[in-house]
Structure 1
Amino acid sequence: MSTITTKDGTEIFYKDWGPKDAQPIVFHHGWPLSADDWDTQMLFFLGQGYRVVAHDRRGHGRSAQVSDGHDMDHYADDVATVIEHLDLRNTVHVGHSTGGGEAAHYVARHGRERAAKLVLIGAVPPIMVKTPANPGGLPIEVFDGLRKSLADNRAQFYVDFPSGPFYGYNRPGAKPVPGVIQNWWRQGMMGSAKAHYDGIKAFSETDFTEDLKVIDAPTLVMHGTDDQIVPIADSAPLSAKLLKNGTLKVYEGFPHGMCTTHADVVNSDLLAFIRS
């Protein structure tokens, strides 16, 4: 396996496919998944001649199940370690959900010279939790509920979540795909319960406002109107306004897991943006 060890001794797994001299696209996965969640996109862009890279966040997938560092600063620093190890430049960063927060924080904290473009898909910025400054956010009780479900019975929670709101399979007329649900469960159960538990705070309570304000790379913000995990009203439009060079693209009726359920549309729009 391809791994790199960070400054604090954490082993991070990554995939690196395609020509080493091609423009790199780095994919940042959502909670509580792994680089495997990007397989459809990675194969598509590999076929288009790009170099594609994705890592498993610390405590997720095949990366080390360390006790500490499950916060956005460490997530971004781990990305920087992978990017610098591979010496990636003129890079396009694509982040979904929690990975969108990670990608934005990385670009703002480390990557403004190396990053050419950024894409946020169903992403958590600017901030998910309800606060006095963010009255449209979700109440902390929502995230406390996620923590309780995880702690009580993680295996069942990781069946229920993709079977319902993540992919919109709980909507009338929706046709759940068993393999998609099983693959979500497989990825989730590979990771550390503690990393996933701590990660809920990281994705829900981190305020990315200042990150978004300093990013000047062209950024595409993609979001579905039927996202039941990261509601669009308090995320994508606000992020697009904070970015210096942001473009908002809204998808009517698309769920949170749109990269899987509508991969053909997502891939086509990503390709057009990257080529533009």
Structure 2
Amino acid sequence: MPFATTRDGVEIFYKDWGPKDAPAIMFHHGWPLSADDWDTQMLFFLANGYRVVAHDRRGHGRSSQVWDGHTMDNYAADAFAVVEALDLRGVVHIGHSTGGGEVARYVAKFGEPAGRVAKAVLVSAVPPLMVKTEANPGGLPIEVFDGFRKALADNRAQFFLDVPTGPFYGYNREGAKIDEGVIQNWWRQGMMGSAKAHYDGIKAFSETDQSEDLKAISVPTLVLHGEDDQIVPIGASARESIKLLPSGTLKTYPGFGHGMLTVNADILNADLLAFVKS
């Protein structure tokens, strides 16, 4: 399996599909998943003539299960290790949820002046800040994230069934068409990773203020968010992010939930392709 090595010695697994001279798209997955969560998008863009790359964040999927370094800074540096190893340039970076935070930090920190970044897409993404603070009154109370930590520490396997069965894909909504394969695939990806990485990752995705990252992104940026997102509520995320992005476009989806890239892939893929080609 292909791996890139970070500057602090972590082995990062990645997938690299398609012609090396094709325009490249790099995908950044959400918590607590892996590069596999992008399979539908990767096959779609591969069929449309693109080179597609996705990696497992440290402690997730097939990457090294190191006990420390589970911060947004290191997540971005891990992604850069893959970009350096493959010498990718002019890349469109697409991130979902925590991966959206990773993209924002990556583009702000590594995007200029090397010309490695062409565009960015933040899908159901956590920026600018998830947790409620005095300066961020629309965020979620810290008790919500403390509850995540307790559920993970008490019984991670059950917690990783409860999340996709319920709010992640909107399967707890009346009339929802439940796909057991989607639930099992979410569980499979989550359980491949490290409990320590997942535990520490909750702090990374909820308490990292990325306001300055967003302000620093100069490339065209598309923000996509479901209006019924029960994991990352749209009011404190996408609707605030668009105010900070110098060159941002916001598109929202009535009734769509957090996992819309999977359960509404036909619609999302078409919108992503239109932006990438624009």
TM bin (shorter chain) = over 0.9
Cα shift at 1:76: 0.5
Q: Provide the C-alpha distance between the structure 1 equivalents of 2:27 and 2:102, rounded to a whole number of angstroms.
A: 10
Other-structure match for 2:91: 91
Other-structure match for 1:194: 196
Other-structure match for 1:126: 128
Code of the residue aligned with 1:162 in structure 2: it is P
Other-structure match for 2:159: 157
Other-structure match for 1:5: 5
Other-structure match for 1:214: 216
Cα shift at 1:142: 0.2
Q: Provide the C-alpha distance between the structure 2 equivalents of 1:237 and 1:274, rounded to a whole number of angstroms.
A: 22
Residue segments in structure 1 that go unaligned for 5+ positions in a row: none
**1:107-126 map, 5 Å:** 107-112=107-112, 113-126=115-128
Code of the residue aligned with 1:272 in structure 2: it is A
Q: Provide the C-alpha distance between the structure 2 equivalents of 1:63 and 1:145, rounded to a whole number of angstroms.
A: 27
Question: SS at 1:131's partner residue?
Answer: coil
Q: Provide the C-alpha distance between the structure 1 equivalents of 2:149 and 2:177, rounded to a whole number of angstroms.
A: 28
1:145 aligns with 2:144: no
Which string of whole-angstrom CA distances, capped at 9 and with x for unpartnered residues, describes residues 20-47 of structure 1?
0011100000000000000000000000
Question: SS at 2:150's partner residue?
Answer: helix
Which string of whole-angstrom CA distances, capped at 9 and with x for unpartnered residues, describes residues 107-142 of structure 1?
001123310000000000000000111000000000
The answer to whether the 8 A contact 1:76-1:105 is kept is yes
**1:36-47 map, 5 Å:** 36-47=36-47
Code of the residue aligned with 1:6 in structure 2: it is T
Q: Provide the C-alpha distance between the structure 1 equivalents of 2:57 and 2:132, rounded to a whole number of angstroms.
A: 26
Other-structure match for 1:48: 48
Which string of whole-angstrom CA distances, capped at 9 and with x for unpartnered residues, describes residues 200-255 of structure 1?
00000000100000101000000000000000001101111100000000100000
Other-structure match for 2:182: 180
Code of the residue aligned with 1:63 in structure 2: it is S
Cα shift at 1:4: 1.1
Question: SS at 1:220's partner residue?
Answer: strand
Code of the residue aligned with 2:124 in structure 1: it is G
Partner of residue 258 from structure 2, selected from 232, 247, 256: 256
What is the total number of aligned residue pairs between the two structures? 276
RMSD: 0.5
Code of the residue aligned with 1:207 in structure 2: it is D
Code of the residue aligned with 2:127 in structure 1: it is P
The answer to whether the 8 A contact 1:225-1:232 is kept is yes
Q: Provide the C-alpha distance between the structure 2 equivalents of 1:275 and 1:9, rounded to a whole number of angstroms.
A: 36
Moved more, 81-90 or 51-60: 81-90
The answer to whether the 8 A contact 1:80-1:111 is kept is no
The answer to whether the 8 A contact 1:34-1:60 is kept is yes
Q: Provide the C-alpha distance between the structure 2 equivalents of 1:150 and 1:73, rounded to a whole number of angstroms.
A: 23
Question: SS at 1:221's partner residue?
Answer: strand
1:104 aligns with 2:87: no
Other-structure match for 2:71: 71
Cα shift at 1:5: 1.2
Q: Provide the C-alpha distance between the structure 1 equivalents of 2:74 and 2:216, rounded to a whole number of angstroms.
A: 19
Other-structure match for 1:265: 267
Q: Provide the C-alpha distance between the structure 1 equivalents of 2:63 and 2:170, rounded to a whole number of angstroms.
A: 29
Residue segments in structure 2 that go unaligned for 5+ positions in a row: none
Q: Provide the C-alpha distance between the structure 1 equivalents of 2:92 and 2:264, rounded to a whole number of angstroms.
A: 21
Code of the residue aligned with 1:86 in structure 2: it is L
Partner of residue 247 from structure 2, selected from 245, 248, 253: 245
User: Which 4+ stretches in 1 moved above 2 angstroms?
Assistant: none
Which string of whole-angstrom CA distances, capped at 9 and with x for unpartnered residues, describes residues 161-188 of structure 1?
0000000000001121000000000000
Code of the residue aligned with 1:56 in structure 2: it is D
